[in-house]
Structure 1
């Protein structure tokens, strides 16, 4: 009735618990981004099917999985390795899918599921930016867009399940969280600096559009136009979402999220400054430039190494 898709990259620590939580599924697929640890071996030991593809973006990776993996069932539960489901959610999901008529027009394309984040061993009941995520999707009816913090475009209705799943973003410690969000903020800054999102910044759409995903895109576009975004995010989590009720864990989580937003702000400024015409940028004394031949040699060797790594993963 439902297949499971888990995206991974060096997830040997978290993957076993995730796979245990979907033991009731008879068709589990791990879509791996060229892990260098025991991720793939662990997945196979649990009986999961393993597929590999060199990573380029989160949306592209998810779309590639939905397009190329030979799923047994038309519905796919999409998870990350640091997430867990419970039997109650699985029972509800299978019942919801089974209840859909075969001639459903327009088709139901996805189901949103409530996510509960954990700050180390403390569940965050309020301090979350979003609470509902479209994670149960119908093959051929959905498409992911946006390189990071993806949007889901659907050809059909999106419904909501009552159950929830658990998310453990700090399972590998704070150092790993900072490392990942340093990468995420660079990807976000590239999107913000490009400013292509401005056409979606409609207050009317953000408030009144009937489609949940369209409203979410408009709200995110409006958010990127606001001044003092780190402070806005901090206050939103603590006050609007009630994060203060989570105590010190909620305050710590909100502060980390505000710092993440501040990284995006600074990296966006950096990218915009780098793209300015040279006559508008203040000049400063610099070291003599390296010879052009040396620069070309270094760049060529780095590109060669990266390409070889990607090809090696593609052949695996």
Structure 2
């Protein structure tokens, strides 16, 4: 079986529940690197038992975060790097398409598509998830954003890689399934919202037009996210226009909580503009 000339990087922290299944599907890759942020469970032992190279990452609250830190500081043995999360599962069909696509000498990166689960149900409708998470080593880094402990996120979640050269798409989907309960979902999205509110404030300070590297989806989000109607419009778009209604209860709740998430971002921005959000206010000065 063909060994893919790709280094798979899996950033983790306390992922003993997900990691073993994720790593068990990576036997066709040149190397697997697990980047750990001080796990207190069996994550590191599972990674080493699976034959992965484990490196430790300690974040100081500023640039670089985990993925850029790997790209800048670690020697990857393959010419390509694929970033996977521990709750993501790949298939042989996905690997086969990778083998075909990365042989194109004119393409330096690929968007990946995902099949999401919520409430332990596969979402067949709604806004599709995709990430630019496969690219040639040396052809790009994740966006450099000069944050100062905006949130507890030590890994690039909403930052996209900025790639030099042509970018294509891998069509076979990656399975993304890690619903650890609603409380955990809401806590994660509260951290995401804190980060996004700070990001928008920084973009406003520097001028949105100057951020030429933003994707079309990012640009639309940051242009309109502070409008009162944005959460409602997002719910209507994903639940009605993108047919999330056909995913039943899971489709409704996923659309509802994503709209809640955008409303939290708006509220945090409003707080800061009123001078009430002291933490956000300090970050914006």
Distance in 1 of aligned mates of 2:205 and 2:240: 27
> Which residue of structure 2 lines up, in the alignment, with residue 50 of structure 1?
54
Which residue number corresponds to residue 292 of structure 1? none
Relative to structure 2, which stretch is displaced further, 259-268 or 2-11? 259-268
- Quote the residue 2:259 is aligned against: 258
Q: Secondary structure of 2:267's partner?
A: helix
Which structure has the bigger radius of gyration?
1
In structure 2, C-alpha distance between the alignment counterparts of 1:162 and 1:27, rounded to whole Å: 23
SS of structure 2 residue aligned to 1:12: coil
**Structure with the largest fraction of helix:** 1
Distance 2:277 2:126 in 1: 38
Q: Which residue of 2 aligns with 1:270?
A: 271
Tell me the CA shift for residue 73 of structure 1: 0.5
Q: Give the Cα–Cα distance (whole angstroms) in 2 for the partners of residues 150 and 246 of structure 1.
A: 29
Q: Does 1:76 align with 2:85?
A: no
TM-score by length of 1: 0.75
Change over 3 Å in CA distance of 1:47–1:276 after alignment to 2: closer
Taking a change above 3 Å as real, the CA distance of residues 225 and 174 of structure 1, as seen in their structure-2 partners, is: closer
Cα displacement (A) at 1:38: 1.6
Cα distance change of structure 1 residues 7 and 258 upon mapping to structure 2, 3 Å threshold? same
> CA distance change for structure 1 residues 58 and 7 in 2, over 3 Å: closer, same or farther?
farther
TM superposition shift of 1:21: 2.2
SS of the equivalent of 2:135 reads strand
Residue 60 of structure 1 deviates from its aligned partner by 2.3
Cα distance between partner residues in 1 of 2:115 and 2:167: 20
The C-alpha deviation readout for 1:191-248, integer Å capped at 9, x for no partner, is 223343883369xx9xxx9x9x632332222232433222122112112322112122
The question of whether the paired residues in 2 share the 8 Å contact of 1:200 and 1:217 is answered with no
The aligned residue for residue 100 of structure 2 is: 95
Q: Within 1, Cα distance between the matches of 2:182 and 2:64?
A: 25
1:48 to partner: Cα distance: 0.5
Change (3 A) 1:200 1:241: farther
Q: If the length of structure 2 is used for normalisation, what is the TM-score?
A: 0.83
- TM-superposed CA distance for 1:152, in Å, is 1.9
Counterpart of 1:192 in structure 2 is: 200
1:166 and 1:22 map into 2 onto residues whose CA distance is 14
Deviation at 1:75, TM superposition (A): 0.5
* Number of residue equivalences: 262
Q: Quick one: structure 1 residues 25 and 141, their matched pair in 2 at CA, closer, same or farther if it must change by over 3 Å?
A: same
Q: Where does structure 1 lack aligned partners over 5 or more consecutive residues?
A: 278-316
Report if aligned partners of 2:225, 2:266 keep a CA contact under 8 Å in 1: no
RMSD: 2.6
